[in-house]
Structure 1
Amino acid sequence: MPVPTARAIVDCAVYVDGARLKGRFTHESALAEVRERGTGFVWVGLHDPDETQLADIAHTFGLHQLAVETASHKHHRPKLERYDDVLVLVLRTVSYVEHELHSVSEIVETGEIIVFTGPDFVVAVRHGEHSKLTEVRRALEHDPSQLALGPGAVLHAIADRVVDSYIEVTELIENDIDEMEEEVFTPRSAVTIESIYQLKREVVELRRAVNPLAVPLQMLSHKPDLPVPKEVRRYLRDVAEHHTTVAERINDFDDALSALISAALAKIGVQQNTDMRKISAWVAIAAVPTMVAGIYGMNFEHMPELHWTYGYPVVIGIVLLICLGLLISLRHHHWL
């Protein structure tokens, strides 16, 4: 049995001159109200709608079938598409997962937001449990002058919130990298290559979510033929600049982690060489009594020392002196 579309709708409101109209609306009644007034716009927010619910939304707002397919399938690359006077912006959201420094679990969690904007509506489809847009809506409702700019203002606010989340995540990851650097370059610290590799893999995932958004933001902020108000394009240019800064930081993270891996591997190699040198030193010391025992274990009949009263203690003493001399020499040269 199909699940009603209302189950997927987080919020649905009508805005006229930057103010939210009182009352509760379905997506159909909200659009009818706007078109009857001839002014204002509808903002519908959905969370993880199924194909039937999306089809209902598409029918009401006249969305193109290809645009609906984009919203129904997850893990798209960030992109901007235009269908006549409707813009479709796909954004990847990211969230930082708290973890121990040496953990090899997931560090960056990703989701998705697809924003449809038309002349009199905004439909925001969210996939994932983080990056809620409630705060974005509340902030805009407290700024009627911005909301009065129309659907483009909502598009900017969502893009700005997503890019701000990129900044927050990169700052937290930078702290992780700083801690790893301190540990790698601390003498006698336990270096865990697996945790560095895991963080590098998460940075790669973060880069795939963040970097492709550069082109859509440039298009929105610099192409005057797109149905975006001039004032909103100015705000979008600021978002694009912040995004560029984040993308550069992520590339720096990748380089830093590559250097950390090389340093950690070098440190492990030095530790292994030190261990092998110690083992070799003890083997050299153990070789002396082994050699003597081998000589006296050949069972020749005529060996002068065999019938000498002090032969045994003298041989043992010589072995101990040689071993002691080797021990002192090896310690002096820092092999032990």
Structure 2
Amino acid sequence: MIVDCGTYRAGRRTEGPEDFSDALDAVRAAGDGFVWIGLADPTKAEFDHAADEFGLHPLAVEDAVTAHQRPKLDIYRDSVFTVLKTAGYHPHDESVSIGELMIFLGDSYVMTVRHGPESPLKDLRARLEEQPELLAHGPAAVLYAIFDMVVDQYLDVATELQTDLDELEAEIFSPGRVRGAAERIYGFKRQVVNFRKAAFPLMEPALRLTRAGTASGEVNVPFVPAELRPYFRDVADHLAKVNEVVESLDRLLSDILSANLAQVSVQQNDDMRKISAWAALAAVPTMIAGIYGMNFEHMPELRQAWGYPAALSLMAGVCFVLHRLFKRAGWL
């Protein structure tokens, strides 16, 4: 559905037609300002109507309706299409949820399409409307503000994940065995991997928005004025910091998982040594008792009065010696 449709001139929101098509015609006829239309989880029919009015490329329209796209920046003849993944952290279950934001940038308009709960733009629009000097740069100012908001979300999520990982690491390597440690580490790693899929691919679009055309033939991103490039450069720096944190989290989780598996293997070896030692201690009296229980008539000391105590003493003596040996070897 259409969440909001605003007309902006000289960086300030002004009264304009409620219908976005009429609003776009008005700003183009006046030769100044732009229209910002926001859609949330639109149906195909709703989006097709908006796409026809704005003349959006059919490939970009297909991506916007289908959702579940990789972060990217595509340049078409009359518009720029950008996909960003939003992220939110939920402390109650220590999970990361991923949403999706799509931005169409064109002549005198910017259209935002959001999917999922992690990408509300109402507060962002309100903050931008308090910065007319930024909005005066046109639709690209909205693109920058959304990039900045998304990367700020990434920084917050990365900080929370780092805190959770520190707690998990301390718990895993605390004395005593932690039940289900490998499963917890693997679950945490999945959260980091999902977050990484959102943050890492966004670096390429962010860098494209910071560069001018070069001798190699790189084309400037249309509808993005040169004076906004330093703003995108700042966003790219913050995103690089996020990616460094995510990379270190991923490596550390792999190291923790390997260390935990090694710890489990060592513990299992210790357990097997203890089991083997106790089995050897139990085998000695079992063997002696088994020999004397074979009911042969001619057995050593079978008719001696001290034969029974001697057999028990032999069992106890051998078990005592074995116990001392195993204890000294660290098996018990």
- Using the size of structure 1 for normalisation, the TM-score is 0.91
Correspondence 1:82-97 to 2 at 5 A: 82-97=75-90
Aligned to 1:41: 34
Q: Is the 8 A contact 1:183 1:189 kept in 2?
A: no
Q: Out of 170, 182, 185, which is 2:173 matched to?
A: 185
1:290 aligns with 2:279: no
Show the 5 A alignment for 1:91-240: 91-98=84-91, 107-190=95-178, 192-223=181-212, 225-226=220-221, 227-240=223-236
- Label 1:36 to 1:237 Cα distance change in 2 as closer, same or farther (>3 A): same
Q: Deviations over 1:225-282 (max 9, x none)?
A: 3221122111001111111111122122221111111101100001001100110110
2:315 maps to a residue whose letter is: V
Contact 2:16 2:23 in 1 (8 A): no
RMSD over equivalenced CA pairs, Å: 1.8
Question: Does 298-307 or 260-269 show the bigger shift?
Answer: 298-307
1:335–1:139 Cα change, 3 Å: same
Matched residue type, 1:180: L
Q: Residue 316 in 1 paired to residue 312 in 2?
A: yes
> Match for residue 66 of structure 1?
59
Q: Distance in 1 between matches of 2:53 and 2:159?
A: 41
Q: What do the CA deviations read for 1:115-159 (whole angstroms, capped 9, x no partner)?
A: 011121110000111121112111101111111111010000001
Aligned equivalents of 2:316, 2:19: Cα separation in 1: 94
On the 8 A contact 2:72/2:84 being kept in 1, the answer is: yes
**CA positional deviation for 1:285:** 0.7
CA distance in 2, matches of 1:24, 1:139: 23
Match of 1:302 among 283, 298, 312: 298
Corresponding residue of 2:71 = 78
Range moving further from structure 2, 215-224 or 32-41: 32-41
SS of equivalent to 1:306: coil
Q: Is the 8 A contact 1:184 1:263 kept in 2?
A: no
* CA distance in structure 2 between the partners assigned to 1:100 and 1:283 by the alignment: 45
- Equivalent residue for 1:250, pick from 246, 257, 262: 246
Kindly state the Cα deviation for residue 176 of structure 1 after the two structures are TM-superposed: 2.1
Q: Note the C-alpha offset of 1:329.
A: 3.4
Report how far residue 96 of structure 1 moved: 2.1
Aligned to 1:5: none
Q: Percent same amino acid at aligned positions? A: 47
Q: Deviations over 1:150-207 (max 9, x none)?
A: 1010000001111111111111111222122222322323161111112222222222
Equivalent residue letter for 1:15: Y
Say yes or no: does 1:259 pair with 2:255: yes
Is the CA contact (8 Å cut-off) linking 1:96 and 1:108 kept in structure 2? yes
Q: Which residue of 2 aligns with 1:3?
A: none
Deviation, 1:22, is: 4.1
Whole-angstrom distance in 1 between the partners of 2:93 and 2:83: 32
The one-letter amino acid paired with 1:202 is Q
Distance 2:148 2:311 in 1: 84
Unaligned ranges ≥5, structure 1: 1-7, 102-106
Aligned residues: 324
Cα deviation, residue 40, structure 1: 1.0
Question: Which residue type is aligned with residue 272 of structure 1?
Answer: Q
2: CA distance between counterparts of 1:213 and 1:95? 16
Which residue of structure 1 lines up, in the alignment, with residue 20 of structure 2?
A: 27
